[in-house]
Amino acid sequence: MLNKVAVVTGAVKGIGLGIAEEFARQGSYVVIADLEKEECDKTAKEIEAKFKVMALGIKCDMASQKDVKNLVSQTVKKFGKLDIFVNNAGIYPFKPILEITEQDWDKVLDINLKGSFFSISEAAKAMQPGGKIVIISSIASLVGFSGLSHYCASKGGVNGLVRAAALELAAKKINVNAVAPGAIETPGATGAMDEKARQQTMAAIPWKRWGQPEDIAHAAVFLCSEKADYITGQVIVVDGGWTLQ
């Protein structure tokens, strides 16, 4: 991964930060994309100091095609190329299906699904053969979760999008894959949980531990390596065996 240029969205904390740090650890130049410019710049500086690689922060709303176009163009302007694009940005607000409004539905689908479409279409336009695109999906694309019908729908759509895009972009030798995390210990996932809820979740996982951001990072970085050149259109589940039950 030495001297590769990797864009990671939703990268100032949690899974996205773990992915960005793993790319930097492997010697890649990293672009940190998120909603707050100040946080992006701060994270980029911290990565530069920690891993001694160049990093760049760019504000980006993944529901805006204009923003995603700018993210790609600014990356190419700074580094001269785009090798890797990982779309991790997403939201998962809990709400019963009978209470979800059209606005609620559209917001989740715009960020999670439309943002993934923008990621693939805009990144692929800038990539040379050998480019790698990874979308962070979820085990909610495979099984139902109460209170998350809009999120489950968005991630199910992501899986279908990844398969179709991989088929089309094979002619350009651009790989498109997804990683579907299970229960991952991040501020967003566990911040509001009490200890009882945390233990109940862990008990449901055959591996008997919460996943960590680096578990997802290792899968994402592998899919962006030359070792994964013949893997495309796949959804790699990283969940400690949760969905095997």
Q: Which residues of 35-65 are buried (b: 16+ CB within 10 A; e: fewer)?
A: eeeebbbebbebbbeebebbbbbbbbbbbbe
pLDDT of residue 40: 99
pLDDT digits (tens, 9 = 90+) for 33-56: 999 999 999 999 999 999 999 999
The beta-carbon contacts of 56-60 under 8 Å, at least 24 apart in sequence, are 56/29, 56/30, 56/31, 56/32, 57/31, 57/32, 57/33, 58/31, 58/32, 58/33, 59/33, 59/34, 59/35, 60/9, 60/33, 60/34, 60/35, 60/89
Closest C-alpha to 122, from 70, 179, 55, 60: 70
Kindly tell me if the per-residue pLDDT of 189 is higher than 80.
Answer: no
pLDDT digits (tens, 9 = 90+) for 99-154: 999 999 999 999 999 999 999 999 999 999 999 999 999 999 999 999 999 999 99
The predicted model scores a pTM of: 0.97
Per CATH, which fold does 5-237 belong to? Rossmann fold (3.40.50)
Q: What is the pLDDT of residue 192?
A: 67
* Span 53-98, pLDDT tens digits: 999 999 999 999 999 999 999 999 999 999 999 999 999 999 999 9
Is position 151 annotated as part of the catalytic site?
Answer: yes
pLDDT in tens, 209-245: 999 999 999 999 999 999 999 999 999 999 999 999 9
pLDDT for the residue 1: 87
Q: What is the pLDDT of residue 209?
A: 93
Q: Which of 29, 92, 151, 230 is catalytic?
A: 151
Can you give the pLDDT at residue 191? Answer: 66
**pLDDT at residue 161 is higher than 80:** yes
